[in-house]
Chains A and B, each alone.
Chain A
Amino acid sequence: MSWATHDLEPYVIQRKLGVAVAIIPLLIGSYSPDILSKWFVYGVDVFGIELKADDPAEFHRSWPGVGFTHSLFFGAAVAGLIYLVTKSKVWAVSFLLGNWAHDISDIGDTMGVMLFFPLSTELISIDAWAYAGQEGRLTDAAAYFSGLGFVWDGFWVVCALLSWRVMTRDYFRDVILPADPLVMQRLVRRLGEGPIIVLYRAMFFYGIARWTAWLIYAHVLNDYPFDLSWGGPHWVDAAQPED
């Protein structure tokens, strides 16, 4: 899995495509593969009862499980539904791009994604960094920010910073608002520009802030070793697809 990448890719796509895409469905699409399932991967404690998948990695990425949310088909199907409901091509295409960006980014870890589900349940992966969701969320974070995952996130931090113009008020008025009469213009009319432009900037802020914080957590406050070798860090038990 990727971390800040999913926060920042939508802004870079927005910068490249301008009014052809809308930021809200881009962000929803980018978060959509994990949005309903991540809590069950890490597990939660409800009144003393732990709710957690028996095999978190398989549940998250395989079938049976919710791995279908990381497929190109899922993104296209939900984008089609969005178009049917909203009649907005911009919303449908934006969701699709956000979802597919997430799917393709997650190919980088050792678990991979069922990119071509339902045609195939094969997990596509380049094994660049360890998938460690099954180890709990703190170890997952420490592992991701010790291997090539943090480099991948760092690449998107740089891309986002190079796209800094998307954060300006002029860009918000000239591109973001015209691109999305469906929701963004209505929100601004109802609540005013002040809080909405801050909300618009929020996931950009979140991506860069949490990338910084997790690096400090893993390597300043704790002594998790960096391991930038392919498939690392090897100090964690990386999940692999079952045969």
Chain B
Amino acid sequence: MRGLAPYLVAFVLYVGIGLAVPDFLYSSVVAAAFLVVVVWAIPEGVRRLRAGRST
């Protein structure tokens, strides 16, 4: 379930943005980039920041 949580967050964000700006829903490339940013890049950035502070 922990692995699923970021995807659920991304799902809610994506649907929300898409409803506010429907053009957002048309591009598979935008969707892929969005998912990578929300599910991987942001958590990875935060993890590296925290690791940097703790050393």
Contact = CB atoms under 8 A, between A and B. Distances in A.
Interface of A: 7, 31, 137-138, 141, 169, 194-195, 198-199, 201-203, 205-206, 208-210, 212-214, 216-217, 221
A203 B25 contact: no
A31 B22 contact: no
A138 B21 CA distance: 11
A203 B28 contact: yes
B39 A216 contact: no
Nearest to A210: B25
Interface in B1-55: 3, 7, 10-11, 14-15, 18-19, 22, 25-26, 28, 31-32, 35-36, 39-41, 44
A13 to B, nearest CB: 17
Consensus secondary structure, chain B interface: helix
B32 A209 contact: no
Interface of B: 3, 7, 10-11, 14-15, 18-19, 22, 25-26, 28, 31-32, 35-36, 39-41, 44
Contacts of A203: 28, 31-32
A210 B39 contact: no
B36 A195 contact: yes
B36 A202 contact: yes
A141 B32 contact: no
B36 A206 contact: no
B50 to A, nearest CB: 16
A118 B32 CA distance: 35
Contact of A213 (B3, B7, B15, B40): B15
B22 A217 contact: yes
Given A198-B40, A205-B14, 10 more contacts: A194-B44, A198-B35, A199-B32, A201-B35, A206-B35, A209-B11, A210-B31, A212-B11, A213-B18, A217-B18
